[in-house]
């Protein structure tokens, strides 16, 4: 099934049972056109992102300090995520490779990265789309299970993306593919986002290798 099929199906269902859905309401001030006197907030948004990453990294450090014996945690996953969003692929790759080597083969519970709406600005577009499709198909999935992924799953995805963008040789990509396959066997089946993101990572690797 293609993504367009899923969206079309949900649109038809929504139109059929429109009376059961809450109508969208817009405040008058929300419909005003953008004017030339409004401030450019791009720089402010970027500073807020940097501040958020710093606070999240501090949280990871405290998490590793207090719960390191029961939950294996790396402390620079959000830094890697932000570096990728800024196009700093080499720095992101170095961070992710170190972290993947630290987490690989862990037999204890791994720390989670929650895919909450507040983190959308930091997430990769494909990750956001994947989480969004889950909510479109089943809006209640957020209440059934945590909409989250382990650090290892997210870092494997980022490492794959950086290797592809930096045109790494097949040998390193095959090694990453091995990490993904091992992780797919270790990750719990109940976490759908884990499995979907690992499958997406695997497909990106196979598609790229097949074109070399």
User: What is the reported pLDDT for 145?
Assistant: 62
Does residue 16 belong to any structural domain of this protein? no
Give Cα separations from 156 to 75, 112, 137, 173 (angstroms).
Answer: 15, 14, 25, 11
Q: Which residues contact 160 (CB under 8 A, 6 or more apart)?
A: 173, 176, 180, 201, 204, 205
Does residue 8 belong to any structural domain of this protein? no
User: What is the reported pLDDT for 190?
Assistant: 55
Q: Which residues of the chain have pLDDT under 50?
A: 21, 24-26, 36
User: What is the reported pLDDT for 41?
Assistant: 84
CB half-sphere exposure, 156, CA atoms < 13 A: 31
Does residue 25 belong to any structural domain of this protein? no
User: What is the reported pLDDT for 188?
Assistant: 58
Q: How many domains does the chain have?
A: 1
User: What is the reported pLDDT for 113?
Assistant: 87
| Host domain of residue 50 | 37-211
pLDDT per position as a tens digit, 68-112: 888 888 999 999 999 999 999 999 999 999 999 888 766 566 788
User: What is the reported pLDDT for 157?
Assistant: 96
Does residue 132 belong to any structural domain of this protein? yes
């Amino acid at each position: 099934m293609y993504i367009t099929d899923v969206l079309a199906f949900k649109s038809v269902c929504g139109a059929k049972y429109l009376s059961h859905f809450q109508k969208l309401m817009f405040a008058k001030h929300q419909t005003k056109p953008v004017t030339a006197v409004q401030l450019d907030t791009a720089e402010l948004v970027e500073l807020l992102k940097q501040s958020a990453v710093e606070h999240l990294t501090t949280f990871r450090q405290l998490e590793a300090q207090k719960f390191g014996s029961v939950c294996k945690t790396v402390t620079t996953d959000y830094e890697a995520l932000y570096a990728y969003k800024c196009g700093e692929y080499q720095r992101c790759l170095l961070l992710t490779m170190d972290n993947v080597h630290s987490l690989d083969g862990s037999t204890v519970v791994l720390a989670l990265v929650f895919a909450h709406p507040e983190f959308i600005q930091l997430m990769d577009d494909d990750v956001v789309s994947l989480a969004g499709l889950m909510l479109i198909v089943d809006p209640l999935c957020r209440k059934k299970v945590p909409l989250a992924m382990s650090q290892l799953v997210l870092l494997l995805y980022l490492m794959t993306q950086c290797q592809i963008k930096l045109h790494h040789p097949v040998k390193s990509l095959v090694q990453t593919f091995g990490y993904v396959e091992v992780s797919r066997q270790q990750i719990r089946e109940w976490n759908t986002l884990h499995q979907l993101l690992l499958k997406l990572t695997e497909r990106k690797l196979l598609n790229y290798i097949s074109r070399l």
